[in-house]
Amino acid sequence: MSSWLKGNAGFRRLAIVLLATSWFQSRGGTLTGSLAPVGQGADVNLTINGALDWVHWGLYTDTSVDRKATVTPQIGSVVPVGAASGFTYVFQYSDNYNGYSWEDGTPFPAATNTTTGIWAYNFAPADSGFEFSVPADTNLKTLKVYVGAFNCRGRLTATLSDGSATSYTDFGLFNIGNGPGGVYTINFAANSSGQSLTITWVVSNPQGQTANVTLQAAALTANGANNPPYASITSPAHNATFSAAATISIHAAATDPDGNVTNVAFFADATKLGDVSSSPFTWQWNNVSPGHYVLTAKPTDNKGRTTTSSPVDVFVHTTGSSLSASVAVPPNSVDLTADGTADWTHWGLVTNTSFNYKSLVPRKISNFTKLGDQAVQRFGDNYAAFNWTDGTPILQAANSPTGIFTTGFTNGFMLTVPADTNSRTLRVYVGLYGAEGEFQTYLSDFSAPAYADTSLSSVFGKVPAVYTINYTAASPGQQLIVVYRATKSFDLTYGNVTLQAATLQGGPQDPLPVYIFNPERIGNDFALSFITQTNQSYTVQYCDYLPATAWTNLPAVSGNGALITVTNFNAANSKRFYRVQTQ
């Protein structure tokens, strides 16, 4: 009897604790869920379902992530989870039972009925899958999670970080082999701001070693949420060129998923061109001056929500110069010394900051300017290997397959080189992986049409290229500007554009290095000799002490292509220092 009473009292104490815990968890927060099938062949429109945010995974690769472009991202990154006994691998697949579409995405603006997604594999399948989070506060929101299961039962768990509602767990989706997926609808609100909802989707009850779960998309909304409008410029085309004093008709397609577009404003860079309040949304931009302009359209819906379209570059040019370019596969071996008679550069020989260039000539090809917010990294398996024998700070290199790269959508590199009325040829060695590259080059005085190319593209493999640009400007003191960046990223983690080297030929002849021969004192005089170039002027300078505070000039001499001797007559001191300046 005593033993029973003790056991019963223990049970009663445990019951009280459980009741108290349940009461605490249900206080303030809301967390409910339900599972519904997604029919085979159905096409889920993420733009409509995700007024606050949406994400699609696996469009091209296992790290492809497309999301709503018109909002601040809320749905977090996916993390693979798995049993402690093994590592969970993530793969892309393209035979999902239903498809997904969107019209307001990034990096891919639109997709139609794509049957892609990602799946998780662990040699110990149980408890392997995916996890991600979304912000939670006191406002009630709805998250839809689109999932699948292969040879298993899936387990979805939704948990609020503040524990203000009981976690939701469901085992409802089960397939033997492949089968239709489902959508979980999670309604949630936390007890305070600054919280998160975590979704875990893993294998439960695996039917063999190949059991796995799939994840395709998620969409976030709320009652009364205003889905933003979105717009795209349909004309002019990206990288279009026009003659100066041009009239450019800018056309935009604008849509609002849950209302109507009341206005579209058109911009060139930060300058507002004008507004159009009804369809067709077209603005006539007249008498456009030479330049490079970035056009955008900003739609406003009937609830006052405004977004910005993807940019479109246009170039307006005059005449008086030339610019032509082509792209080719580079040779396996490139001699920078031979090809860069006026200048050359190479990046990434030893580290990501290594910058080597032609010695004993004025620098012409600039170091790169990084575009975007991603780091510049070095790589060592380039298609072409580079050689030089006249470099600095490294004098020579042989068969170096090195370069630099940067990842991410819109990120890349910019270079500049001199331009004037002299003809020059610039070659730029680039590449990419898991991306589409855009190569633009134009003159700073816009005296010729710009060149642009987007032919370099690869979902999985590497693509090497060399761009050859032949150019002159209409006036002295100009620059040729080169921009190379990623306009599409097929692989969120690894997609990148690369830069290895550049060479320059042509332009005015640079003075050759001057070497002093036979310096000697003859009586009260000092004499020295050096080899000259035709059409170059030389000034011999001297000082009595080093370091020199000032140099004294001897009369200038003109070069004739031969060895000449210059004499400093009646030199009072027994020791002097000399140098030769080429002009």
pLDDT in tens, 126-177: 999 999 999 999 999 999 999 999 999 999 999 999 999 999 999 999 999 8
CATH 2.60.40 fits 12-221, yes or no: no
pLDDT in tens, 255-305: 999 999 999 999 999 999 999 999 999 999 999 999 999 999 999 999 999
Output the six-digit token pair for 308. Answer: 């910005």
385-388 and 333-335 as β-strands: parallel, antiparallel, unpaired?
parallel
Spell out where 337-419 has E strands: 343-347, 355-358, 369-371, 377-379, 385-388, 391-392, 397-400, 403-407, 412-419
Where is 336: in which H helix or E strand?
A: helix 336-339
- Its pTM stands at 0.84
pLDDT above 50: residue 22:
no
pLDDT above 70: residue 250:
yes
Contact 42, 471 (CB under 8 A): no
Segment 333-355 shows an average pLDDT of: 97
Share of the chain above pLDDT 70, in %: 95
pLDDT value of residue 1: 31
pLDDT value of residue 84: 64
pLDDT value of residue 231: 97
pLDDT in tens, 444-499: 999 999 999 999 999 989 999 999 999 999 999 999 999 999 999 999 899 999 99
Ramachandran category for residue 302: left, alpha or beta (phi over 0 → left; psi -120 to 50 → alpha): alpha
User: DSSP code of 352?
Assistant: T
Contacts of 511 (CB under 8 A, 6+ apart): 533, 536, 582
Contacts of 400 (CB under 8 A, 6+ apart): 346, 349, 385, 386, 387
| DSSP one-letter string for 512-542 | PPP--EEEEEETTEEEEEEE--TT-EEEEEE
Pick the closest to residue 433 from 494, 474, 363, 348 (CA basis): 494
The partner residues of 557 in beta bridges, in order of sequence, read 538
Contact 171, 155 (CB under 8 A): yes
pLDDT value of residue 228: 97
Segment 54-65 shows an average pLDDT of: 96
pLDDT in tens, 390-439: 999 999 999 999 999 999 989 999 999 999 999 999 999 999 999 999 99
Question: For the chain, how many residues are written?
Answer: 583
Any idea of the CA torsion for 548, 554, 556, 559, to the nearest 10 degrees?
Answer: -90
Tell me the pLDDT band of 21, cut-offs 50, 70 and 90: very low
Tell me the pLDDT band of 124, cut-offs 50, 70 and 90: confident
Pick the closest to residue 538 from 548, 527, 553 (CA basis): 553
Confirm whether 12-221 and 322-506 share one CATH topology. Answer: yes
pLDDT value of residue 511: 79
Pick the closest to residue 505 from 403, 582, 428 (CA basis): 428
Domain ranges of the chain: 12-221, 230-317, 322-506, 517-582
pLDDT in tens, 169-197: 999 999 998 999 999 999 999 999 999 99
Helices (H) and strands (E) in the chain, counts: 3, 49
| DSSP one-letter string for 461-512 | EEEEEEEEEEEE-SSSSEEEEEEEEEEEES-TTT-EEEEEEEEEEESSPPPP
pLDDT above 60: residue 24:
no
Architecture of domain 322-506: Sandwich (2.60)
Architecture of domain 517-582: Sandwich (2.60)
pLDDT above 90: residue 4:
no
User: What is each CA distance from 123 to 109, 188, 496, in whole angstroms?
Assistant: 37, 34, 31
The mean predicted confidence, pLDDT, of the chain is 93
Give CA–CA dist 190/25, Å, rounded.
11
- 3-class secondary structure, 15: helix
pLDDT above 80: residue 83:
no
pLDDT in tens, 86-118: 789 999 999 999 999 999 999 999 999 999 999
Residue bearing tokens 């100009």: 478
Give a three-class secondary structure readout of 374-386. CCCEEECCCCCEE
pLDDT in tens, 536-582: 899 999 999 899 999 999 999 999 989 999 999 998 777 899 999 88
CATH 3.40.50.360 fits 230-317, yes or no: no
Pick the closest to residue 297 from 306, 288, 285 (CA basis): 306
pLDDT value of residue 508: 86
User: What is each CA distance from 160 to 128, 129, 163, 279, in whole angstroms?
Assistant: 21, 19, 5, 45
> C-alpha 171: how far from its chain's center?
40
AA letter at 198: T
User: DSSP code of 12?
Assistant: H
Spell out where 47-190 has E strands: 53-57, 65-68, 79-81, 89-93, 99-102, 105-106, 111-114, 117-121, 129-136, 141-150, 152-160, 168-170, 174-175, 182-189
Q: Is 565 exposed, middle or buried (0-12, 13-18, 19+ CB in 10 A)?
A: exposed
Peptide bond into 547 cis (omega under 30): yes
Query: Phi/psi at 287 (nearest 5 deg)?
Result: 55, 55
Give CA–CA dist 542/552, Å, rounded.
5
pLDDT above 60: residue 201:
yes
Give CA–CA dist 159/131, Å, rounded.
11
Give CA–CA dist 155/59, Å, rounded.
24
pLDDT above 60: residue 51:
yes
pLDDT above 90: residue 85:
no
pLDDT above 80: residue 35:
yes
Where is 14: in which H helix or E strand?
A: helix 2-25
Segment 205-234 shows an average pLDDT of: 96
